[in-house]
Amino acid sequence: MVAIVDSGSTKSDWVILDDFKKVFLKTETIGFNPNFINRELIVPEIEKNSSLILVKNSITKIFFYGSGCGVKKNCETIEEELKKIFTKADIVVKEDLMAAAYAAYSGKPAIVCILGTGSNSCYFDGEKLKIKLPSLGFLIGDEGSGSAIGKQLVRRYFMQKLPADLLAEFEQNYTLTVEDALQNMYHSPRPNAYLADFNKFVIERKDHPYFKEMVYKEMKDFFEYQVIPYEESKEAEINFIGSIAYYYEDILRSVAEEFNLNVGHVVQKPIESLVDYHIKYIL
């Protein structure tokens, strides 16, 4: 059996293929971004998934694509922890941008962007991945991401910038104190996922003029910092992967139009396309 895993900071999608390259199992775990999660939590979290434990000894190959795995040390961390459970598997760990590139590939070169809990971008010509810009994480990077939009909402709430109607609705939905927010942002194992979770509130009200402007600015920052520096962006199609791109697609396309850029397709969950790519080109 072969496991294909697309792991973000919030959750991981797992697909297990049988020996005939047919889908045997689909399941989820939390996200395993080594920059945020304590490595000691990885094995216990996988062990909570009874479906994976049942097939662990039948899996001979794992393709793991993860947020935070653009650094060799982090790749080694994931590989070492997975090996503790999947003892018979050959494990390949690569960054999530590679998964996005595979999932978004339609036969022609393109800029590929991730807009989920975090954000990132690259250029994929069908064979090689070109990464011009570093991923700086949610503290000083991740423009346009779920964590960035959530950070804006929390900041504007505490600094009394929300209009009266949104303020009232926010306080109906959350009993948020400064102490709670700081505790979760500075002492929880997954602070970026904590901030991204506030997007539920924004998405439900994304047509509100205040949120439209707030999200538009975040998306504009994303294009300016992570897309326009690629010379290829002037001509190439720009494809997006991730739930944030999916839910704010209309705003995303409006910003691209302002920059005279061409957005192609937007895929919420790349796992299906990622599996298809492996069946067609890798396995």
Measured between alpha carbons, how far is 247 from 226 in angstroms, rounded to an integer? 19
Over pLDDT 90: what percentage of the chain?
A: 80
- pLDDT, tens only, 159-200: 999 999 999 999 999 999 999 999 999 988 889 989 999 999
Residues β-bridged to residue 139: none
Q: What is the CATH number of domain 2-99+271-282?
A: 3.30.420.40
CA dihedral over 31, 37, 40, 41, signed as positive or negative: negative
Measured between alpha carbons, how far is 77 from 147 in angstroms, rounded to an integer? 24
pTM for the whole thing? Answer: 0.82
pLDDT for residue 106: 80
pLDDT average per 10 residues of sequence, the chain (283 residues): 93 96 96 92 96 97 94 96 98 93 87 93 90 85 94 97 98 96 90 94 97 98 97 94 95 97 91 92 88
pLDDT for residue 135: 82
pLDDT for residue 234: 92
Residues β-bridged to residue 123: 111, 130
Domain boundaries, the chain: 2-99+271-282
